Structure 1
Amino acid sequence: MTADNVAVGRLARAERLLVALDFDGTLSPLEDDPMAARMLPAARTAVEALAALPHTWAALVSGRSLSDLRTIAEHDDDSPILLAGSHGAEYWTPDAGTVEPADDPADVALRDRLRGEAERATGTLPGVWIEPKTFGFGVHTRTAAPADAAKANTAVDEIVSAAAPHWRRRTGHNIVEYAFRDEGKDTAVAHLRELTRADAVLFAGDDVTDEDALRSLGEGDVGVHVGEGASTAATLVVADIPAFAALLARLAEERRSPAE
């Protein structure tokens, strides 16, 4: 029996299961325009099938702001799918709706000032785009030439390190993020585990920012890295999004079967 079959079988038998998933690169292909990202149909079908099962919770855990995550996930107030945005600083649940922290106005003012400086510093570099985020901003360089990407990242690093050296810096696929809050996806998984009282967790992601959550998983949990060739703390590696969608579909089917 393969490792993924063993893992799926173990999760299928969990009394209370949380399936917490990164979005970009895990359920949706990476897009040059980040707001164009959408779940592959097979991934959406599998996530919705899991969310419909008894004692099973599906959650999206993303570095995106909560409002952007709801847009790209095509998520409305009737959805049973839990959301954790901004790396676990913002949440949405069916019972509570949107839950956001109350931030110091000085932090918000500094965010806006530094984002404006970043936009001015990178405005002449083709393919560089500054993404507004609830607690900071991101520097996208997916469509930029390598030399321009390096210039952008160096310029913004200097801006942030001079004015806000305490901010958290994260790197991902052709993006560098800066935030005045320190939550990570490990924070999100811990909060969602407590909220659902899950005794087993599946977490999956494709990027460096997902490793915090993968490292935080316990003995009875399963971590999945989507995409080959990267160093990861995950217990399973799948080739791509379709392969991961198939794994989720198998989990839904095996978890459904004992109840029928």
Structure 2
Amino acid sequence: MTECIRFAVVAILLSLTVIVNCSEEESTGDMSKRVVPTINKAEEFEQKLPGFLNSNKTLCVLLDYDGTLAALCDNPNNTVMDPELEKNLHCLAKNPKVFMAVISGRGLKDVEGKVGIKNITYAGNHGIEIQSPDGSRQDYQLPANVQKSYKSLVDELNKKLNKNGAWVEDKKVSLTYHYRDTASELVEQQKQEAIEIIKRHGFSANQAHAAIEAKPPVNWNKGEAALLILKNNFGNDWQSKTSVVFAGDDTTDEDAMRSLQGIGKSFRVATDPKIETYADFRLPRQELVHDLIRWLCNHSCQS
């Protein structure tokens, strides 16, 4: 009889383990990259997202800048937003039922100057720098040894690879090595050498559009920044109070898309129809971001 009881207890415990594991899987959802549906025209936002914009919740619009709000340029200093898009962004920012943040790989003051909208949250350097609408800052503090390594990294890249049209964009805590203007026969060699130098200094090297981004070796990214921004503004129960939209075009934006997967709706700007992403939808053209913002603006004005 004792053996039967022991067997029954073990069976019950195993059953409970299975139930817990299944619950965990259901709560976390499918956190893998995959090929996602494409939105090709303006009217498809409403068609494919019926009822998502709940008027009882605050609409939180989180956006990347380069390649998302502004088309990519050979020189990042030359990027500008489309006038109509800028107008609709201002419309959203003024709406008391809308919260807006721009989370960029650029330095904070750089992206703030490019967007130029007051009373919104800005995050620069992939979320390491965060500035609230009132001007207060909540930056992620890099360890002293990482700051020292960063200075050495910038110096070495400038000394060895600031040539043939390539240059180093120093953003004080992270950098971007641009090679868009480098002759095609020289690109691969210089790119690989840049990656080697970046990794040797302990930084991660991420492929961007005709560039390599060097990020510090810390557990912080656009996803962590997005969650912190939402928590700071709406509390620990922000999910029940908000409808979150995120749009981005680059590999670093995938961190935010992953963090928001199953919670909000995110959009990856990408021409590749087979790209795998954590986003919910693919936008094959940057101009479709204009349609997304217009749709959000029109809905928020009606609610």
Q: TM-score with structure 1 length normalisation?
A: 0.88
Q: Of the candidates 86, 93, 98, which is equivalent to residue 51 of structure 1?
A: 93
Other-structure match for 1:99: 138
- Secondary structure in 2 aligned to 1:46? helix
Provide the C-alpha distance between the structure 1 equivalents of 2:140 and 2:270, rounded to a whole number of angstroms: 33
For structure 1, the 5+ residue unaligned runs are none
Aligned residue runs from structure 1 range 225-244, under 5 A: 225-229=268-272, 230-244=275-289
Output the amino acid matched with 1:20.
L
Which segment is superposed worse, 240-249 or 54-63?
240-249
Aligned residue runs from structure 1 range 72-221, under 5 A: 72-75=114-117, 79-124=118-163, 126-162=164-200, 164-165=201-202, 167-180=203-216, 181-197=218-234, 198=238, 199-221=242-264
Deviation, 1:196, is 2.6
Deviations 1:168-206 (A, max 9, x none): 322211111113244211112111211232422100011
Q: Which of the two has greater strand per residue? A: 1
Provide the C-alpha distance between the structure 2 equivalents of 1:239 and 1:249, rounded to a whole number of angstroms: 17
Provide the C-alpha distance between the structure 1 equivalents of 2:85 and 2:56, rounded to a whole number of angstroms: 21
Which segment is superposed worse, 173-182 or 184-193?
173-182
Identity %: 26
- RMSD of aligned C-alpha atoms? 2.2
Deviations 1:206-240 (A, max 9, x none): 11111111122143411111233133222122232
Deviation, 1:70, is 1.8
Aligned length: 252
Output the amino acid matched with 1:95.
D
Deviation, 1:8, is 6.6
Provide the C-alpha distance between the structure 2 equivalents of 1:179 and 1:15, rounded to a whole number of angstroms: 35
Provide the C-alpha distance between the structure 2 equivalents of 1:65 and 1:11, rounded to a whole number of angstroms: 31
Q: Give the conservation status (yes or no) of the 8 Å contact 2:261–2:278.
A: no
Provide the C-alpha distance between the structure 1 equivalents of 2:74 and 2:44, rounded to a whole number of angstroms: 34
Provide the C-alpha distance between the structure 2 equivalents of 1:138 and 1:256, rounded to a whole number of angstroms: 38
Output the amino acid matched with 2:147.
V
Change in 2 beyond 3 A, CA 1:183/1:88: same
Deviation, 1:128, is 0.8
Change in 2 beyond 3 A, CA 1:9/1:39: farther
Deviation, 1:28, is 0.3
Provide the C-alpha distance between the structure 2 equivalents of 1:160 and 1:18, rounded to a whole number of angstroms: 35
Other-structure match for 2:18: none
For structure 2, the 5+ residue unaligned runs are 1-42
Q: Give the conservation status (yes or no) of the 8 Å contact 1:4–1:236.
A: no
Other-structure match for 1:255: 300
Output the amino acid matched with 1:144.
T
Change in 2 beyond 3 A, CA 1:218/1:231: closer
- Secondary structure in 2 aligned to 1:87? helix
Deviation, 1:47, is 1.7
Structure of higher CA gyration radius: 2
Deviation, 1:58, is 1.1
